């Protein structure tokens, strides 16, 4: 695993965007696994900036997103489809039909999830998977205790995730209680993984995930077993790793 320590959120975002753009430049038809949440927003802004300068094209890129709230329409401002359009897709030359986000209004979550697994396989798998990490160690919406062997599935969100995400909604009651999410198995099958973390509130869970035991109670800890993971974080989020003497690159 490579760990990059960045001075602040902006340089963390720039480093993450560098890794994504290197993937796209070296393989223009890459399949990118994309993430939502607050942390990757800066990396998406940086990619848009480089695209606008003419340094980067996503014309052949295909994308699959990690997750979507179950019950939200893609047009809902807090849906992850909406997030991806407004933070990235609407500003670059990726083709809409090459972008894939789970359908939060699917009548049958079972069918939707099975089709998504098939889609990922038909695309040839994910070249680079971008991840954020929840305060309880979740990746995508794989919550503590979820089976590591699961593929895309319907998840009941934990109280801690609902609490953390209520900032995006008018009230806590508006936060959906379920989501469709890629499973740990889909994530671990990606060829490369890039995980971004920011802020002091993530320091403890980052330490547990990367220095603690691999356990279902900390879903991100499974990443210790992936052969190609890059962790990019700012000083605050990586502080406990640094204190423990884990080697990091600047
Ligand atoms: O980057 P943030 O906003 O801390 O979110 C962390 C994680 O939580 C989620 O937003 C889901 O709650 C994930 O998509 C993300 O990886």
Q: How far is the CA of 150 from the centre of ligand 1 (A)?
A: 19
Q: How far is the CA of 37 from the centre of ligand 1 (A)?
A: 4
Confidence (pLDDT) at 35? 98
Compute the average pLDDT of residues 137-141.
Answer: 96
Q: How far apart are CA 173 and CA 103, in angstroms?
A: 21
**pLDDT above 90 for 250:** no
Query: Which ligand 1 atom lies nearest to the CA of residue 35?
Result: 14
Distances (CA, A) of 197 to 9, 113, 209: 9, 27, 12
Establish whether 60 is a catalytic residue. Answer: no
Confidence (pLDDT) at 40? 98
Is the residue at 38 inside a domain?
yes
| Ligand 1 proximity of 38 Cβ (cutoff 6 Å) | yes
CB 95 within 8 A of CB 3: no
Q: How far is the CA of 247 from the centre of ligand 1 (A)?
A: 26
Query: Which ligand 1 atom lies nearest to the CA of residue 164?
Result: 12
Q: In 185-196, which positions are buried (b, 16+ CB within 10 angstroms) versus exposed (e)?
A: bbbbbbbbbbbb
Q: 2: number of CA atoms within 13 Å, CB side?
A: 13
| Ligand 1 proximity of 132 Cβ (cutoff 6 Å) | yes
What is the extent of the structural domain holding 10? 2-243
Domains: count for the chain: 1
Identify the band that residue 222 occupies on the pLDDT scale cut at 50, 70 and 90. Answer: very high
Establish whether 67 is a catalytic residue. Answer: yes
Q: How far is the CA of 23 from the centre of ligand 1 (A)?
A: 23
pLDDT digits (tens, 9 = 90+) for 58-93: 999 999 999 999 999 999 999 999 999 999 999 999
Is the residue at 248 inside a domain?
no
Is the residue at 250 inside a domain?
no
| Ligand 1 proximity of 136 Cβ (cutoff 6 Å) | no
| Ligand 1 proximity of 144 Cβ (cutoff 6 Å) | no
Residue carrying the six token digits 């039909």: 97
**Rounded (to 5) percent helix, strand, coil in the chain:** 40, 20, 40
Q: How far apart are CA 32 and CA 126, in angstroms?
A: 6
CATH code, 47:
3.40.50.1360
Mean pLDDT, the chain, whole residue set:
97
pLDDT digits (tens, 9 = 90+) for 24-59: 999 999 999 999 999 999 999 999 999 999 989 999
Catalytic residue among 65, 87, 136, 165: 136
Query: Token pair of 193, please?
Result: 């993984």
Establish whether 147 is a catalytic residue. Answer: no
Is the residue at 45 inside a domain?
yes
């Amino acid at each position: 695993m490579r760990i990059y320590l960045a001075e602040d959120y902006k340089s963390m975002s720039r480093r993450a965007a560098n890794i994504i753009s290197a993937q796209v430049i070296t393989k223009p038809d890459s399949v990118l696994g994309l993430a939502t949440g607050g942390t990757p927003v800066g990396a998406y802004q940086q990619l848009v900036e480089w695209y606008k300068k003419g340094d980067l094209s996503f014309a052949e890129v295909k994308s699959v997103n990690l997750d979507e709230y179950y019950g939200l329409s893609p047009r809902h401002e807090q849906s992850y489809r909406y997030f991806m359009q407004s933070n990235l897709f609407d500003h670059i030359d990726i083709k809409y039909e090459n972008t894939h986000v789970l359908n939060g209004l699917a009548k049958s979550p079972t069918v939707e999830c099975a089709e998504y697994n098939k889609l990922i396989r038909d695309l040839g798998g994910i070249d680079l998977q971008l991840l954020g990490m929840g305060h309880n160690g979740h990746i995508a919406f794989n919550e503590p205790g979820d089976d590591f062997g699961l593929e895309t599935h319907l998840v009941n969100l934990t109280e801690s995730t609902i609490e953390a995400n209520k900032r995006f909604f008018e009230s806590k009651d508006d936060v959906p209680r379920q989501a469709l999410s890629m499973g740990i198995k889909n994530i671990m099958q990606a060829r490369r993984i890039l995980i971004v973390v920011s802020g002091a509130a993530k320091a403890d869970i980052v330490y547990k995930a990367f220095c603690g035991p691999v356990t279902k109670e900390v879903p991100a800890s499974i990443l210790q077993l992936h052969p190609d993971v890059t962790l990019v974080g700012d000083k605050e989020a990586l502080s406990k790793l640094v204190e423990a003497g884990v080697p990091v690159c600047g």
